[in-house]
Amino acid sequence: MREVAVAGVGYTPFTRASGRPVLDLACDAALAACTDAGLDPALVDGVGTHSVGQDSEPAQAVATALASPGLRWVVDLAMAGQAPCHLVGLAADAIATGRAEAVLVFRALNGRSGAKVGSARFPGRGGPYRYPIGYGAYPMYIATWANRHLHETGQTTDDLGAVAVAHRRYAVLNDRAVVRTPLDLAGHRASPWVAEPFRVADCTREVDGACALLVTTLERARDLRRPPAVVAAAAYRAGPRPGLDLGDHVLTDDYTRNFTDLVRDELFRRAGVTPADVDVAELYDCFSSVVLMSLEGLGLCDRGAAGELVRSGALPVNTHGGLLGEGYLHGMNTVAEAVLQVQGRGGVRQSARHDVVVATSGALMDGSALVLTRDR
């Protein structure tokens, strides 16, 4: 089995209205990732992406527009924020076993000017019971989990505020971020309710844009422009009865633990590290509560101590400002930031220690995670 690394990342600007087709955004980000890595795009032999409903373009369209000479590997996942780490894991498996050499993984959408996922109706058999009664938007589902989680762990909306404030501090330092006005706890407390316990400041901002990663063998990555971000382990987990659709959560018993609780042991064991070794955490944060739940689920702190950890600043978390601050690229940008941190390219946001970075994708019943490490 060959070792695998992420060799480069690419972004378009994140905007309120790109005025451009999604395919153009996808191609720009994909080419930017190739340029970042210093790899000829003609050498790409795999493309993977994910979409919700009809909000993106298939991998084959990007291969076509990038004049790919041919593909050996393609994946189009009908998944939302659970997908990015999973896609990198699938690409890594293909590369490790010799079924692909260089894979582009991307997310592209006009998520602000086009269809908004926050209020989208997901196909599936659970929706017909939610949509007619006004239980029809993703923030509501996660709010329901967050409410129970805060209750059982003895945390409060000020702990959500701690996440929002800490993330904003990083976002202010991030040119790519769409929300860069400073925020303190008083500002969080004054932010209008969306769906309790969430205020506007607890919610991600939907944006137009694209983000891509270039995944290849560690051996090849060592010859490219950037330091390799080694894929030490990737894992996906869902528990029993993960639901009939993206928003169907009534078959899950415990709203205080998300998929990170299930994925933790396998992820760290396969990466050969422990939670104590983690230098930076880039955690999917469509809403602030998911950071608390995921810090606890990954074992980066005790249950109920996540808000305290965030306030302490002892562990750099979401150094790009999170999806809360940088914008909602459905977590592909979360993984890209993990790559930048491992590579030591975080600029003013760079963590001093960056040997081991954990990233997650997903919020509730199911999701994926990744451990990236520095080379050698």
Partner 1 sequence: MNTPAPPEPDHDSGPFWVALDEERIVLQRCAGCDRLRFPPIGRCPWCREPRSTWTPVDGRGRVYSWTVVHHAFEPAFADDVPYVVATVDLDDGPRIALRCAGVPDFGTRVSPAFVRHDGWTELRVVPDA
Q: Which of residues 197-236 bind partner 1 (CB under 8 A)?
A: 197
Rounded distance between C-alpha atoms, residue 343 and residue 257, angstroms: 31
Q: Is residue 132 a contact residue for partner 1 (CB under 8 A)?
A: yes
Amino acid at 367: G
Applying CB under 8 A, among 67, 70, 192, 376 the residue interacting with partner 1 is 192
Nearer to partner 1, 155 or 333 (CB): 155
Closest separation between CB of residue 189 and partner 1, Å? Answer: 15
Applying CB under 8 A, among 255, 268, 284, 287 the residue interacting with partner 1 is 255
Applying CB under 8 A, among 16, 186, 196, 225 the residue interacting with partner 1 is 196
Given the rule CB under 8 A, which of 106-114, 244-252, 351-359, 362-370 is the region that contacts partner 1?
Answer: 244-252
Closest separation between CB of residue 135 and partner 1, Å? Answer: 5
Nearer to partner 1, 16 or 125 (CB): 125
Q: Is residue 244 a contact residue for partner 1 (CB under 8 A)?
A: yes
328 has catalytic annotation: yes
Rounded distance between C-alpha atoms, residue 246 and residue 249, angstroms: 8
Nearer to partner 1, 247 or 297 (CB): 247
Q: Is residue 191 a contact residue for partner 1 (CB under 8 A)?
A: no
Q: Is residue 140 a contact residue for partner 1 (CB under 8 A)?
A: yes
CA 187 to chain centre: 26
Q: Is residue 304 a contact residue for partner 1 (CB under 8 A)?
A: no
Q: Is residue 194 a contact residue for partner 1 (CB under 8 A)?
A: yes
Q: Is residue 71 a contact residue for partner 1 (CB under 8 A)?
A: no
284 has catalytic annotation: yes
Applying CB under 8 A, among 83, 143, 214, 365 the residue interacting with partner 1 is 143
Binding site for partner 1 (CB under 8 A): 118-119, 125-126, 128-137, 139-140, 143-145, 147-148, 151, 192-197, 240-241, 244, 248, 250-251, 253, 255
Could you give the residue numbers annotated as active site?
284, 328
